[in-house]
Structures are given as C-alpha cells and as structure tokens.
Amino acid sequence: MEPTTIEQEIRREQEYVDRVYTRLDEMVERVAEVRRDGHARGLLDYTGEIKEDDYRSLFERDALVDHAVRRLAVLEAQREGLVFGRLDQRDGEVRYVGRIGVRDAEHEPLVIDWRAPAAATFYQATAVEPMGVVRRRVLRCHGQRVVGIEDDLLDPQAAPPHMHVVGDGALIAALTAARGRRMRDIVATIQREQDTIIRAPSSGVTIISGGPGTGKTVVALHRAAYLLYTERRRLQGGGVLVVGPSPVFMTYIERVLPSLGEHDATLRSVGEIVDGIVATRSDPYDVAVVKGSLRMRRVLSRAVREAAPGVPRELRLYGAGRQLRLDADELAAARRAVVRRNRYNRARTDAARALVAALWRKVGEEAGVPREDFIADVTSRDAFWSFVQAWWPVLRPEEVLAWLADPDRLARAADGVLRPDEIDALARSWSTTDEWSVEDVPLLDELAWLLGEPPEPPRPQDPDDTDDVRIGDVNADAAPAREADGYAHVLVDEAQDLSPMQWRMLGRRGRYASWTIVGDPAQSAWPDPAEAARARDAALGDRPRREYQLTTNYRNSAEIFALAADVIRAVDSDAPLPRAVRTTGVHPTHLDGEPLADTLRDAVARMLEEVEGTVGVILPTARQAEATSWLDGLAADDRVVVTTARASKGLEFDAAVVVEPEAIARESPVGTRTLYVALTRATQRLVTVGGDEKWRARLGELVTRSPSDETRDSSGHDGPAAGAP
Ligand SMILES: Nc1ncnc2c1ncn2[C@@H]1O[C@H](COP(=O)(O)OP(=O)(O)OP(=O)(O)O)[C@@H](O)[C@H]1O
C-alpha cells in the first residue's frame, strides 16, 4: 500500500531525528571520555606527593569531572522526545526546536534549545502575526521514534506548493491526553500568552494571575527553567526557591523542572520553609486564621520579652564587701530594658550589664568604692556569671512557642490583641499535640527572627587583654546574625492563600531576590485579602512589578467549568473567569443514594472505567477519615487519589468525584471558594456524590441552560444523571 502523506512526513522527520540522536550519542561519548580522563588523572596524581601545582591541577580536574558529570546527566535526561518542533520560515530556512541545543560536528545548529532567543518564534508566531513562520510543526515522539505530527499553517500565502499540513493541532492532543500522578512539561505546546510570561525579564516581581487551569503553575515552572538557562550564574549561586501549598502538590509538580533539565531549584511546601521542620498538618480554619494574622507579631514579641519558665526570680550575690540582691520586680525591669534594645539571644552581654547597673543603682555611694571597681568586683565572680547563664538561657523558637500552650502565659502575651475565644483556641491547639502545624511554621520563623542567633563562642583570650574581657568577649554585635538563607529568585505558587505571617516568612528568604508570584484571588482561602496584601507588599518592597493575566482554561472541559463558574459567581460576581475552550459533550453528573459509602464506591468505579488516567476523590475535611475506609480496595488503586477539598489546591485529575459539595461550601466562611477549587480539578469527568436538593437543582438548571447541550458527543453521555444510581 502507498504510504499516506502523514506516513511520508513522519518518515522524513524520522531521518532528521535519527541524525540528531547519532550526534547526541557522539556528544555523550565525548563527555564520558572527559570524565574518564579526569578520573584517570586523579589516580596518577594521588600516587605521589602533592605539590602546589598538582593541587591546582586536581582542582581543575575536579571542576572538569564535575562539569562532565552534570552535562552527561542533562544529555541523558533530555533524550526522551529531544526534538519536538520544527519551523519552516518564509525565507526557506528550517529550524528544529528541542529540549536542549545540539550542534553538528561543524558547529551548525541541528536543534535549538527552546529557551534560546532563536526559538521564541516557535511559541510566539500566530496566524495573525506569523513573524516570518510559514508552518509550525510539533513532532510527537516515543523515545527516539516519531509517532505523530501536528501542524499549524500560519502564513498560507507564503507556503510553497509542495508543503504538507497534517494533524489536528498539538494543543488539543496534549490537553485531551490522560493525566498521570505527576504534572508534565508543556514545552512543545506553550501558547503565545504563556511564552510572553516565561520570557519576561527576571528583575523585580512578576505576578501571574488567572483562573483555574490557565497554566499558571506550569508556566511559572517553565519560567524558572528559562531564568536558570538565561541567568545561570546568578540564579545557581543564590538559588531558586519554589514554594507551593502542600507536600502533595510539591510531589505533583516535582518532575517538571528536572524534565526540563533543571535540578538546582529548591522545592518546598509552606510547611517546610524553615530548615529542620517538616509540617504537613493544617490547623482547623478558625485557628489557622488567628495564627496567620499579623496580630501574632505582637503576641510573639511579648512572649519573647517574658522570662523563660523556671529562671531564677531573685539574684543574691556577695560582692563589694556586702550582700547584694535584686528581687523579681527589679529583675523584670532589667529584662524589659534589655529586650527592648536587643534581640534576646544576642543580648546576654547587655543583660549582664543591666544587672550590674541595677545593682550599682541600689548600692550606689554606700558601696564605698568607685563605680569601675564595683563593676570589676561583681563581674569577676563566677556566681555572677552562673546567675547570668541561668537567668538568660539561650532560647530556641520551638521552646518559646511551646510555652504558649499555657493559657495564662498566652493570655498575658495576647492581652488586648486577641479575643478570649481566640486565646482559648490557640492554647488548645498547642496543648493537644506537640506536632507543629503548617500554620505554626511562620510563627517559629518569626520567633527565630525575634530571638536572633546566639553569638559565636568567644575566641581564645589574649592573656594581656584583661580589660572587662568577660563582658566584652560575648559582645552581642561581634558576629552577624545568620539570618534565613537568601535566595536569588523566589517563585510562590497558590500565593492567594498565603497568610500575612507566611508572607513575612517568605520575605525574609527573598530579601535580595527577584520574584515570580502566581495566584488566583477567586480561589483564595484567606479571609482578609487586604491584610495579606499589606504583608505581601512589605515582603516585596518597592521592586518594580509586572503583571500578567492568563485567560484560557486549558484544564476543564467547558461543561465542567460552567458548573464551577456558576458556583463562584454566586459569591463573587466580579471574579474574572477564564474561557474553557474544549468541549467534550459530557456534563457533570450527580449520584445520590444511601449509604453514601456505596454511592461513592460506585462513582469511583465508574470513573475508573471511563477515564484512562487519574481519579480524584475530593472530600469535606470532616469526611476524610471515613472515606478512605469506605473506598476499601479502591483507595489503593494507583490511579485513585483521595484528598480534602482544601488540600486539592493545584492538583489535577482526569475525573473528579466531589463528595457532599454543599458540606464543603459550609465548612468555612470561604467554603464556596474551596468548593470552586474542588470543582475545577477535572479534565474530563466530574461527578458529585451525596448532597441536597439545592445542589441537584443547580446541576439540572445548568444543563438546561448550557450551550454545549447541542454539542453532545456520541459516546452516550447525555447530561446529568441526577437521582439514585
Ligand atoms: N500550553 C499548554 N499546553 C499543554 N498543556 C497545557 C498548556 N497550558 C496549560 N496546560 C495544562 O493545563 C493544566 C492546568 O495547568 P496548571 O495546573 O498550571 O494551571 P493553574 O492555572 O495553575 O491551575 P489552578 O490554579 O486551577 O491550580 C495542566 O495539565 C497543564 O499541563
């Protein structure tokens, strides 16, 4: 049989792709040789004495080997689907675009790196503005084999007569593909509005907003890869921090940057920002709201000023020929004066000075010795320094926060700042568990900042330097405080949910950074956007900002998004909503019936049959524990992901089964927004399970109104199945 046009085109492209892989193999072999050579040099060098020259050559060797190892890893990692695009230009030039740049033996480009300026037209050219491109071609590959081609003819007038145009469009093919448990890169199908954001300059603050499924996350990650490519020296030196809402979300996105050849970004959920603490549990809404509010700054700074539990409440000391004493009130006054001026952990010297000053004030002229002699006498006594150590112990943030589980202590710190019911709720949250919550992490960070790092231990003393050594050698200002590590670029996803205290925590890490901030106000779970905006502005300072809005919903079918849009409109009539361009003809459905467990299992089993990829079961928080047991064996299915609505932020499934939607909406004052999040997680199918008349009516009404009624497909799905299964 004659090969079809598309088969012929694929064969031609395969020839080119084969040439690229042959060249890639040569490059891999060459780099591997450099590595082997480096190792061999190391073996010889280490056999004898090492002279200074040898050290230099060993250093060079290590750098060479290190570079070769990294290069090899990149070359190997980018092998899969290395070439994905081709541009046929008006002037007859043909360019191939791929995951990395590849040149032939004569240094002529075989493939252009997608991030290079020469590749930009691959993403930016449109039929309205072809930018010299006649045909854009996306190659779909499995391993090294070309399996499909999708063309866009951008400039028909300029197309030569023999030019073929095949395929239905790469974007739709990508959007309808089954989803796995990890987000994939979109390097072959980045859209023009997205490309503009990816390539925006790195300086200052780039704010990306847009409704659900508009590609905010995936675009921000491609932007990180782009910036690492264009500004590798600055960004690798300082580091790139990527922050998301939960560990589940971080796992969902963790492959995107490596798949783009970037391994150097630090990915952390908001519960993992502080080194050494991994918090995954979220507090109930009412507690989270208090812990996140800026009022906690006052509470914490007062908590730091109060004496640690168990410190001595009286100073008794023999000095200057008499019994010296400071009582609890005098000690408290000295403490207040010191903490007002200093960070606690860096103030021990000052605390010692304050004690001596208080003693002198009490004794004064009666001491019968000049002030200098009095100070020298007191500070030469071990008993004095033992007291200072006990009275001013080094404090860790965890200790100070744990003290606030004591309702009396908390009430003193929060007096006039928090309401009594808020104080009760907080004290209970800290006394019922010793596991830190996600909302505790910014509080610990704030405390770390208030307390400061303890100074470095004193260096060995110079025996001649006897002048007030003991006070001087623990000088609080001697060593700079080791503040939180500063990153060169900070990328914050789902930023609409960050509490003011979380903004402060991130601000400390991005003090000298450029920022990319991603969010959708309509999905916000934070009840006081104005307070969060203030904290955000303080974190970002006066850096210049550029803002972008994404407007196309690439995730949801139009039928699914129509339901979600209806829900959000009820509470936020002005929310700018994206346009879902893909219709499937399959409307959201609803399943009722008792017991709920059976209905849920039935819904999940149906979805597993109907879609190829993942099925998300999205629950009200109150149902979380029950539902996993209801689902029985189904929960263990690799394709099934069980999550609460609150934790479903940023995730995506082929099918979503949303349990008791109205209960999700009632769970908190921002519950409707959380329900909006839950309803916008699915690409192909949405089923709601359990609920009330109101919910069924909403679905029914929506379908009768839906314009896509006329475009139902032939798969037998013809609207909502409200009622018993
Ligand atoms: N140009 C594109 N080509 C292919 N797929 C795309 C493109 N843009 C976005 N997508 C896909 O659309 C889906 C939604 O993207 P993403 O999760 O980044 O959206 P989002 O705006 O962060 O959503 P949300 O705010 O609802 O979490 C993902 O599967 C993503 O891969």
Instruction: Provide DSSP, 273-303.
Output: -STT----BPPPHHHHHHHHSTHHHHHHHHH
- Mean pLDDT, rounded, for 14-20: 96
User: H or E segment at 141?
Assistant: strand 133-142
Name the DSSP class of 688: E
Indicate if the pLDDT at residue 512 is higher than 60. yes
Which residue's CA is the nearest one to ligand 1's atom 13? 555
CA nearest ligand 1 atom 3, residue: 189
Residue 563, pLDDT > 60, answer: yes
Of 66-70, 187-191, 306-310, 483-487, give the lowest mean pLDDT range: 483-487
Binding site membership of 172 for ligand 1 (Cβ less than 6 Å):
no
Closest ligand 1 atom to residue 214 Cα is 21
Q: Is 245 annotated as a binding residue?
A: no
291 is in an annotated binding site: no
Is ligand 1 within 6 A of the CB of residue 614? no
Q: What is the mean pLDDT of the chain?
A: 87
176 a known binding residue? no
Q: Which residue, by CA, sits nearest to atom 29 of ligand 1?
A: 555
| Ligand 1 centroid, distance to 554 Cα (angstroms) | 6
Neighbour-count burial for 129-148, b at 16+ CB within 10 Å, e otherwise: ebeebbbbbbbbbeebebeb
Confidence of residue 199 (pLDDT cuts 50, 70, 90): very high
- Closest Cα to atom 24 of ligand 1: 212
Domain-wise residue ranges, the chain? 5-188, 208-269+492-550, 285-299+397-451, 315-389, 558-704
Which residue of 195, 218, 491 sits with most ligand 1 atoms within 8 Å of its CB, as the best mutation to test the pocket? 218
C-alpha distance from residue 357 to each of 330, 338, 350, 384, 385 (Å): 11, 12, 10, 13, 15
* Nearest residue to 300 (alpha-carbon basis) of 177, 417, 127, 378: 417
Q: Under a CB-based contact definition with an 8 Å cutoff, are residues 687 and 538 in contact?
A: no
What's the pLDDT score for residue 458? Answer: 55
Do the beta carbons of residue 253 and residue 221 sit within 8 Å?
A: yes
553 Cβ closer than 6 Å to some ligand 1 atom: no
Q: Is 588 annotated as a binding residue?
A: no
Q: Measure 204 CA to ligand 1 centroid, in angstroms.
A: 24
> What's the gap in Å between 652 CA and the centre of ligand 1?
9
Q: How far is the CA of 449 from the centre of ligand 1 (A)?
A: 37
pLDDT at 233: 86
Query: Is the CB of 555 within 6 Å of ligand 1?
Result: yes
136-140, 323-327, 699-703: which has the minimum mean pLDDT?
699-703
The residue whose CA has the least distance to atom 9 of ligand 1 is 215
Given a cut of 90, whether residue 168 has pLDDT beyond it is no
CATH topology of domain 558-704: Rossmann fold (3.40.50)
**CA 75 / ligand 1 centre spacing (Å):** 27
Which residues, other chains included, contact 591 with Cβ-Cβ below 8 Å and sequence gap of 6+?
599, 602, 603, 687, 688, 689, 690, 721, 725
What is the per-residue pLDDT for 220?
A: 96
CA of 217 to the centre of ligand 1 (A): 7
Task: Answer whether 190 contacts ligand 1 (Cβ < 6 A).
Answer: yes
Percentage of residues in the chain having pLDDT higher than 70? 89
Ligand 1 atom closest to Cα of residue 650: 27
Q: Which two tokens stand for residue 171?
A: 């974007």
Task: Please calculate the CA angle 199-511-649 and round it to the nearest 5 degrees.
Answer: 60
Distance of alpha carbon 706 from alpha carbon 725, whole angstroms: 23
Q: Is 177 close to ligand 1, i.e. is its CB under 6 Å away?
A: no
Pocket test for ligand 1, best of 194, 217, 611 (most atoms within 8 A of CB): 217
pLDDT confidence of residue 33 = 84
Ligand 1 contact via 653 beta carbon (within 6 Å): no
CB 692 within 8 A of CB 663: no
Does the annotation place 649 within a ligand binding site?
no
**pLDDT above 70 (res 463):** no
Tokens read off for 539:
């974190």
pLDDT of 376 above 80: yes
In the reported structure, the alpha carbon of residue 719 is separated from the centroid of ligand 1 by a whole-number distance in angstroms of 26
In sequence order, what are the beta bridge partners of 94? 88
Highest mean pLDDT among 25-29, 205-209, 367-371: 205-209
Closest ligand 1 atom to 184 CA: 31
In which band, very low, low, confident or very high, does the pLDDT at 249 lie, cut at 50, 70 and 90?
very high
Ligand 1 touching residue 216 (CB < 6 A): yes
* Whole-number Å distance between alpha carbons of 148 and 570: 44
Span from the CA of 175 to the centroid of ligand 1 (angstroms): 9
Residue positions counted in the chain: 725
Ligand 1 atom closest to the CA of 554, numbered from 1: 12
Rg over alpha carbons for the chain, rounded to the nearest Å, is 32
- Is a pLDDT exceeding 70 seen at residue 612? yes
pLDDT at 28: 87
The Cα-based distances of 462 to 300, 455, 459, 465, 630 in angstroms read: 40, 19, 9, 5, 72
Q: How far is the CA of 651 from the centre of ligand 1 (A)?
A: 10
State the average pLDDT over residues 270-285: 93
Residue 156 annotated as part of some ligand binding site = no
Among 176, 184, 492, 652, residue to substitute to test ligand 1 (most atoms within 8 Å of Cβ): 652
Look-up: residue for tokens 């904290």?
A: 535
Q: Per-residue b/e over 104-115, b at no fewer than 16 CB within 10 Å?
A: eeeeeebbbbbb
Give the model's pLDDT for residue 457.
61
Mean pLDDT in residue range 427-446: 94
Mean pLDDT of the region 577-586: 92
If you take atom 16 of ligand 1, which residue's CA is the nearest one?
A: 215
Q: Has residue 707 got a pLDDT over 50?
A: no
For residue 555, count CB atoms less than 10 angstroms from its CB and return exposed for 0-12, middle for 13-18, buried for 19 or more: buried
Q: What does the pLDDT look like over 59-71, one tens digit per residue?
A: 777 777 777 788 7
Whether 549 and 525 have beta carbons less than 8 Å apart is answered as no
The per-residue pLDDT for 128 is 85
Distance of CA 350 to the CA centre of its chain: 40
Does the interface ipTM go beyond 0.95? yes
| CA distance linking residue 499 with residue 532, whole number of Å | 6
Pairing verdict, β 102-103 and 83-89 = unpaired
pLDDT band of 713, cuts 50, 70, 90: very low
Per-residue tokens: 113: 């790196």
Other C-beta atoms lying within 10 Å of the C-beta of residue 593: 15
- CB-CB contact of 138 with 150 (8 Å): yes
pLDDT at residue 545 in the model: 96
For residues 18-43, one letter each, b for 16 or more C-beta atoms within 10 angstroms of the residue's C-beta and e for the rest, the string is eebeebbeeeeeebeebbeebeebee
**Least confident stretch, 9-13, 465-469, 512-516:** 465-469
CA nearest ligand 1 atom 23, residue: 213
Q: What is the pLDDT of residue 53?
A: 57
User: Residue 495 and residue 516: Cα distance in Å, rounded?
Assistant: 10
pLDDT in the model for residue 241: 96
Do 87 and 188 touch, CB atoms closer than 8 A? no
Q: Higher-confidence residue: 275 or 629?
A: 275
650 lines ligand 1 (CB under 6 A): yes
Residues 6 or more apart whose Cβ sits within 8 Å of residue 165: 135, 151, 153, 159
For residues 55 and 113, the answer to whether their CB atoms sit within 8 Å is: no
Our answer on whether the CB atom of 348 is closer than 6 Å to any ligand 1 atom is: no
Angle between helices 348-363 and 371-379 (to 10 degrees): 130
The response to whether 212 counts as a known ligand-binding position is yes
The pLDDT, as a whole number, for residue 704 is: 58
519 within ligand 1 shell (Cβ under 6 A): no
Query: Does the beta carbon of 244 sit less than 6 angstroms from any atom of ligand 1?
Result: no
With a 6 Å cutoff on the Cβ, whether 187 touches ligand 1 is no
Ligand 1 in contact with 648 (CB < 6 A)? no
User: CA-to-CA distance for 398 and 300, rounded, in angstroms?
Assistant: 12
According to the annotation, is 349 in a ligand binding site?
Answer: no
Number of H helices, E strands in the chain: 28, 21
Phi, psi at 264, each rounded to 5°: -100, 5
Where does the pLDDT of residue 395 fall: very low under 50, low under 70, confident under 90, or very high at 90 and above? Answer: very high
- 221 CA: nearest ligand 1 atom: 18
Whether residue 42 has pLDDT greater than 60: no
CB contact burial 72-89 (16+ within 10 A = b; e otherwise): beebebbeebbbbbbbbb
223 CB under 6 A from ligand 1?
no
Beta strand 94-98 with 83-89 is antiparallel
Instruction: Give yes or no for residue 186 CB within 6 A of ligand 1.
Output: yes
Per-residue pLDDT at 244 exceeds 70: yes
* Helical pair 440-451 and 285-292, crossing angle rounded to 10 deg: 20
Task: Quote the ligand 1 centre to 4 CA distance (angstroms).
Answer: 34
C-alpha to C-alpha distance for 239 and 235, rounded to whole angstroms:
5
- Report the interhelical angle of 596-610 vs 624-631 (nearest 10°): 60
- Ligand 1 contact, 218 CB (< 6 A): yes
